[in-house]
Amino acid sequence: MASLTDPGLLGRLVDTLRYFLEQSGPVTPDSNRRLVLGHSLGGNAALHVATHWPKLFGGAATASAALWWPGDEVQLSGSQIAAEVLAATDVRLWMQAGTAEDPDLLRSNRELWASADTAGLDLAHVEHPGGHELSAWRDGLRQALPHLLRETG
């Protein structure tokens, strides 16, 4: 599971996805219509991928991003991911977390959201009355997709 925060592995994954997208006819060439999604540590991975490859993916949606994650000498920490988000100006983001999440997870998400709001980033965020369960993700995607796929001008 921790490999979801290994930047080397994520880079190789993106290289594979880029190749697939170049070879695939039915997938849209418009990067603003391609999104990366993730839950928990997968949310961290989605944020990393979206902020590092905005020409490949126009946005990211996360549920319960594990921004509390400590990382190590190889694995990206949640604070590193949050710093990447705050440095990104050309990506749309949508995040959710539940009010019944682990307190560190909810606190770290709220801190990122407040900083992103202050910076004027395109990051929409929602708190739902639940926890880390995937069932909340389904409802969240109904909100995330219109935000992330809206036309810009």
**pLDDT surpassing 60 at residue 1:** no
pTM for the model: 0.88
Count the neighbouring beta carbons within 10 Å of the beta carbon of residue 23: 8
**Confidence bin at 153 (pLDDT 50/70/90):** low
Q: How many domains does the chain have?
A: 1
Q: Tokens 């100006």 sit at which residue?
A: 89
Q: Tokens 């606190």 sit at which residue?
A: 107
Q: Which residue has the higher pLDDT, 100 or 9?
A: 100
Dump pLDDT digits (tens) for 37-63. 999 999 999 999 999 999 889 899 999
Cα separation, 67 vs 84, in Å, equals 12
Phi, psi of 88 (to 5 degrees): -85, 130
pLDDT of residue 40: 94
CA 62-37-112 angle, 5° bins:
30
Side chain identity, residue 62: T
pLDDT of residue 126: 96
- Tell me the residue range of the domain where 78 lies: 2-149
Cα separation, 144 vs 153, in Å, equals 19
**Confidence bin at 134 (pLDDT 50/70/90):** confident
Q: Which residue has the higher pLDDT, 137 or 4?
A: 137
**Confidence bin at 83 (pLDDT 50/70/90):** very high
CATH of the domain at 115: 3.40.50.1820
**Confidence bin at 110 (pLDDT 50/70/90):** very high
Q: Is 1 within 8 Å of 45 (Cβ atoms)?
A: no
Cα separation, 82 vs 72, in Å, equals 16
Q: Is 51 within 8 Å of 65 (Cβ atoms)?
A: no
